[in-house]
Structure 1
Amino acid sequence: MTVLEGVQLGIGLLALLAGFVMFGALPTLKTNGKPILMPVPLPSLTVIIPARNEAGRIAPLLRSLREQRYPSFEVLVVDDDSTDETATIASGFGATVLRNDTVEAGSGKSAACWHGARHAKGKWLLFLDADTALADADSLTKLVGSYAQKGARGILSLQPYHTVQRLYENLSAVFNVIVIVGMNVFTLWGTRFKTAGSFGPCILCNKDDYFAVGGHRKIQGAVLDDLALGQAFLDRDLPVHCVGGGGVISFRMYPEGFGTLVEGWCKSFAVGSKSTHPVVMSLTILWITGGFMSAAALISSIAAWNPAAMALAVFLYAAYAVQTLRFARRCGNFNKGLFLIYPLLFMFFAALHIYSLFRARVLHSVKWKGRKIEV
C-alpha cells in the first residue's frame, strides 16, 4: 500500500466516524400510538400560508388541511402579488385569501407572514410553506399536542419529509442532510450546542410570543427567514424546538425543474452556513471530504492493482454509501440505487456550494422566484 493510498483510506475512515457524530439522530414527534395529552380547552389555531405564484403546488396542502380533525382552526392564504391562479385555487378549498396590498406587497415571505399574523384570530399560529402537505387527518392534533407538552412557549419547527418523484430531485439528498445537521442539535451531543434557528416550512408558536419578539416584521429582509425568526425568539430567551417531520408533514422541493433546484439551494447556502457551530461545520467538512477520499482510494487501489488496498477501499466505499443512504433516508425517500454512485451527489453539492459562495461573496446577490435578493 502506498503512502497516498494510506492517507486516503485514513481520512476516509476518520470521516466515516465523524459522520456518526455529526448526525447522531433526527427526532420526530413521538406519539408511539399513545394518546396525546391535549391542552384543555383546545387553543384556536390560525394556519398561515404565504403564497406567491403557487397555483401548481398549493392544492395538496389545502386538501390535507380540509381533512384535518382538529376542531378549531382557520386557514389564511396570503396571496403575495401572485400573477397566476393561486387565489382562485385557495378560495376553492375554503381558505380565506388575504391579498397583501400593503406597500410591502410582493416583497417576500416575511412580509406575507406578518400580514397574515396581523389578521389571525387564533391564539396559536402555524406557518406552513405552500409546498408542504400534512400526512394524515391527525397531523394538526399531533402538532398542537406536542407544542403543549413542550410548554407552549417559543417555537416548534418541523423539517418536512422530502418526497422525491423525478430523478433530478435526488440531487437534493446531501443538501437535505446538511441543512438538518447545520441546525446544530442533531449531533451525538444533542442540545449541547444552541440551535441555529428554526426550520422554515413548518413553524408553530403562540401569538403572544410571536408579537412580543416582533414576528416576521422584525426579520424582514433576511434571506433565510427561518434562521432569523428562530434567532429572534432565542434572543428573548424563548425556546426553539427543531424536529423531523416524518409521519406528520412532507414536501416536494423544486418540482419545477433543475434550474429552480439550483436557485433554491444557492439561496439557502449563500448565507446559511454562517449560523452553523464551528464544531459541527468542521465535522461536516470532514464528512464531505471523506466522501471524496473514499472514492479516490478505490480508484487509486484499482489503478495500482493492490489487492489489500482494494479490499480496504471497497469496504470503505460501501460503508460510506450505506451511511450516506441512511442519513438521506432520514430526510426523504431518495432513490436507494443512486447511493452506489454517491460521489456524484457529493460532487454536485460541492459545485453548487462553490457557486453559492461566488454569488454571495462576489455578486452579493442570489435569485429566487424572479427576485434578485441582496446578500
Structure 2
Amino acid sequence: MLWHLTWPVILLACLMSGWVIFARPQFIQRKISEEHRISIIIPARNEAHNLPNLLGSINKQKGQVVEVIVADDGSTDGTSDIARSFNATVIAVPEGEWRGKSHACYHGAHHARYDMLAFMDADTVLSDKQSLSRIMYQYQQQDSSGVLSIQPYHHTERPYETLSAPFNIVTALGMNIFSLFKDRVRTNSVFGPFLMTSRNDYILTGGHQSAQETIIEGMGIQQGYQAKGLPTTLYLGHGVLQFRMYPEGLASVINGWKKHIAIGAGNTQPWIMLMIMLWIGGSIATTGYLITTLIGDFGTLALPISFYFIYALQFRWMCHRLIRIPWFYTLLHPLYILFFFHVYGQSFIQTHLFKKTEWKGRTIDLKKKK
C-alpha cells in the first residue's frame, strides 16, 4: 500500500528533526568555585506560598556569601513577612508607568551591595547545597562576563502538571541553542527564571530596563547584552535548579502557558520553528499511521506500532532533561501534543487578536509591547 511507503518517510523526517534540534543540550558542570559574594534579587508579587522553599534552599548553600533581596511588587498575601522571617531584605517596588517582573528586578538590583547579581523567580529552588557554587564556576568559564541563564528542571507532583511537558520542550528548543548547529545559530532570548551577571555589565547594558517594552523579559535582556558585544549563555537546570509550576490546578497550567507561548514561538528563527512543528506534528502522525493501517490493512501493524513507540521513547528522552514525568505517561504523547495545540491556539488569539495578556492579576496591553 502507498501509505506504507509515505508514512515511514514522513515519520523518519519528524524523528530526525527532533533529534537535530535537541542534540546538544547544555548543563551546569559539577565543579565548584571559591567563595564569592552574591546578591540574589527575587521579584515577588503574592509569592508567600513559594518563598519558603526558595529562601530555605538559598540559606542551605555552601561556599558563597549571599545577600537576598525580595522586591515586593504590591503583594497582599504576606510576602514581605515571609521574606523577613528568612532574613531577606525587602524592598517595596514603587508604582510607575513601567510595571511587572522586569521593573521589580531592575528596582531590586539597585539595592544590591555585591558586584555579582543573580535574579531568581520566586517559584524556583536550588536543588543542591552546592548549586550556587557550581553556577558561579560555570559563569567564571565565560570570564565572569555577560549573562548566564538557566531553565529550571520542572518538578511535578500531580498527573495534570505533566501536561507542561511539551511547553517545556518547545521553550528549550525555541532558544535555537541546543541544536546540532548551535555554533552557527544565535539565540533570540535568555531564560528568565534564573540570570547571573556582574553589576558592571548589568549597568552597561541597562539590565532589565532593556526589557520594559517586551512581554518576555529574556528577549529584551539578550538584545541589551548582544548590543554591547557581551556573551549570553543558556543552560538546563537538571540537578542544580528546579521549579514547580502551576500547582493550583489544570486551569493554572492553561492560563500560565497561554500568556506567552505564542509570543515566544513568533520570535523563534523560522527554520528552527519549522523543525519544531515538524517534530510536534510527527507525534500526531504516528496515531494517524496506526489508524489508517487498522482500517486499511490489519496485517501490517508492526511498523506503525514501532513508530508510535519510538516516538514515545524520543518524547521520554527529551522530557528526562526538562521535566519529571513517569515513563509510562510518555506513551500518551499524542494527547500531550493535542493539549499543547489547544493552549497554543488560545495564546495566539489572546496575544495576536485581543493584544492582551495577564501577569499576577495585572492586564498588560500588548499593543505597547514588542
Q: 1:297 aligns with which of 266, 289, 292?
A: 289
- The match for 1:361 is 352
For the 8 Å contact 1:184–1:277, the answer to whether it is kept is: yes
Partner AA of 1:324 in structure 2: F
**TM-score by structure 1 length?**
0.94
Residue pairs, 1:161-200, within 5 angstroms: 161-200=153-192
- 1:228 is displaced (CA, Å) by 1.7
The change in CA–CA distance for 1:28 and 1:357 in structure 2 (over 3 A counts) is same
2-structure distance, mates of 1:27, 1:16: 21
- The match for 2:245 is 253
Say whether 1:344 aligns with 2:335: yes
2-structure distance, mates of 1:84, 1:164: 24
- The match for 2:20 is 21
- 1:367 is displaced (CA, Å) by 2.5
Report percent identity of matched pairs.
37
2-structure distance, mates of 1:259, 1:5: 40
Moved more, 354-363 or 113-122: 354-363
- The match for 1:224 is 216
Secondary structure of the residue aligned to 1:283 is helix
- 1:236 is displaced (CA, Å) by 1.4
For the 8 Å contact 2:211–2:219, the answer to whether it is kept is: no
1-structure distance, mates of 2:344, 2:360: 19
Runs of at least 5 residues in structure 2 that lack an aligned partner in the other structure: none
Residue pairs, 1:72-151, within 5 angstroms: 72-103=65-96, 107-151=99-143
**TM-score by structure 2 length?**
0.95
- 1:264 is displaced (CA, Å) by 1.6
Q: 1:270 aligns with which of 243, 262, 272?
A: 262
Moved more, 191-200 or 114-123: 191-200
For the 8 Å contact 1:37–1:149, the answer to whether it is kept is: no
Cα deviation digits, residues 56-78 of structure 1 (max 9, x gap): 11111100011111332200001
- The match for 1:242 is 234
- 1:317 is displaced (CA, Å) by 0.5
For the 8 Å contact 2:41–2:105, the answer to whether it is kept is: yes
For the 8 Å contact 2:32–2:130, the answer to whether it is kept is: no
Q: 1:56 aligns with which of 49, 61, 66?
A: 49
2-structure distance, mates of 1:221, 1:373: 11
- The match for 2:149 is 157
- 1:104 is displaced (CA, Å) by 5.5
Partner AA of 1:267 in structure 2: K
- The match for 1:331 is 322
Q: CA RMSD in A?
A: 1.5
2-structure distance, mates of 1:231, 1:336: 38
For the 8 Å contact 2:46–2:77, the answer to whether it is kept is: yes
Secondary structure of the residue aligned to 2:145 is coil
2-structure distance, mates of 1:332, 1:18: 20
Cα deviation digits, residues 72-103 of structure 1 (max 9, x gap): 22000011100101111111111111111343
Secondary structure of the residue aligned to 2:260 is helix
- The match for 1:279 is 271
Partner AA of 2:213 in structure 1: G
For the 8 Å contact 2:32–2:136, the answer to whether it is kept is: no
Partner AA of 1:313 in structure 2: P
2-structure distance, mates of 1:368, 1:335: 30
For the 8 Å contact 2:33–2:136, the answer to whether it is kept is: no
Residue pairs, 1:8-47, within 5 angstroms: 8-31=7-30, 35-38=31-34, 42-47=35-40
Moved more, 330-339 or 160-169: 330-339
- 1:199 is displaced (CA, Å) by 0.5
Moved more, 354-363 or 108-117: 354-363
- Aligned pairs, how many? 366
- The match for 2:59 is 66
Moved more, 252-261 or 242-251: 252-261
The change in CA–CA distance for 1:348 and 1:369 in structure 2 (over 3 A counts) is same
1-structure distance, mates of 2:97, 2:63: 33
Cα deviation digits, residues 105-131 of structure 1 (max 9, x gap): 8x2101100110111111011000000
Secondary structure of the residue aligned to 1:203 is strand
For the 8 Å contact 2:36–2:64, the answer to whether it is kept is: no
Secondary structure of the residue aligned to 1:196 is coil
1-structure distance, mates of 2:63, 2:245: 27
For the 8 Å contact 2:70–2:89, the answer to whether it is kept is: yes
Secondary structure of the residue aligned to 2:345 is helix
Runs of at least 5 residues in structure 1 that lack an aligned partner in the other structure: none
For the 8 Å contact 2:29–2:134, the answer to whether it is kept is: no
